[in-house]
Chain A
């Protein structure tokens, strides 16, 4: 089945630790995105990537890093510099922006990150 997978479903981080969230898609989408959702709030963009080996900061990139070595994969690392990482993280993908009707972003099931 085509879709977006995120792992793990739950992730626990210790003080000072870096953790990496996985996002994989087999939709042949060019663009991928990472959003953060805090309880009772909307989603905020962390990073996005339109092509392999290129990515751009979103509204709240501080304390996060990403890589895009393959079209299918867009992992997000939450670094120790992120002082308040507890949140729900959602990955999305879309066909390359500019192709009119195909710009809809589709989302994965999310990863819930908790700080110990």
Chain B
């Protein structure tokens, strides 16, 4: 069965520090999709990135970057020069291609607090 683990329940940094949020997943499928979502205090989940299992290229989007390593089943998320507005709960999620319903399995989330 699929599983997503976010071992860091809470991280606190000072503004402008870099921070990495870890995500480790388990799946038996060879084709799968990994996601990161941001949940600000308002509660709505904001989509950040989707990555399929055949694309191991790292991705950068502004201050955000993602490191996908199949060898270690990890999909880590780094925020460079963090800002107070980055404070939120971040979720990593997995969807298996064999899953006809496109269901997402979520990790428990990492609460990031960025202090001024």
A residues at B contact (CB < 8 Å):
31, 33, 40-45, 48, 50, 56, 58, 88, 90, 92, 94, 97, 101, 103-110, 112
Contact = CB atoms under 8 A, between A and B. Distances in A.
Contacts of A105: 47, 102, 104
Nearest to B37: A107
Contact of B45 (A40, A103, A107): A107
A110 B43 contact: yes
B82 interface: no
Interface of B: 4, 9, 33, 35, 37, 42-47, 50, 91, 95, 99-104, 106-109
Contact of B108 (A42, A45, A90, A94): A42
Contact of B33 (A41, A56, A103, A108): A103
14 contacts: A42-B4, A42-B106, A42-B108, A44-B106, A48-B103, A50-B101, A88-B43, A90-B44, A103-B50, A105-B47, A107-B44, A107-B45, A107-B47, A109-B43
Minimum-distance CB pairs A-B, first 10: A97-B102, A42-B106, A107-B45, A110-B43, A109-B44, A43-B106, A42-B108, A104-B50, A48-B101, A103-B102
Interface centre among A40, A50, A56, A88 (most CB of B within 10 A): A40
A104 B35 contact: yes
Contact of A97 (B50, B91, B101, B107): B101
Given A103-B33, A103-B95, A41 B108 contact: yes
Contact of A42 (B35, B50, B95, B107): B107
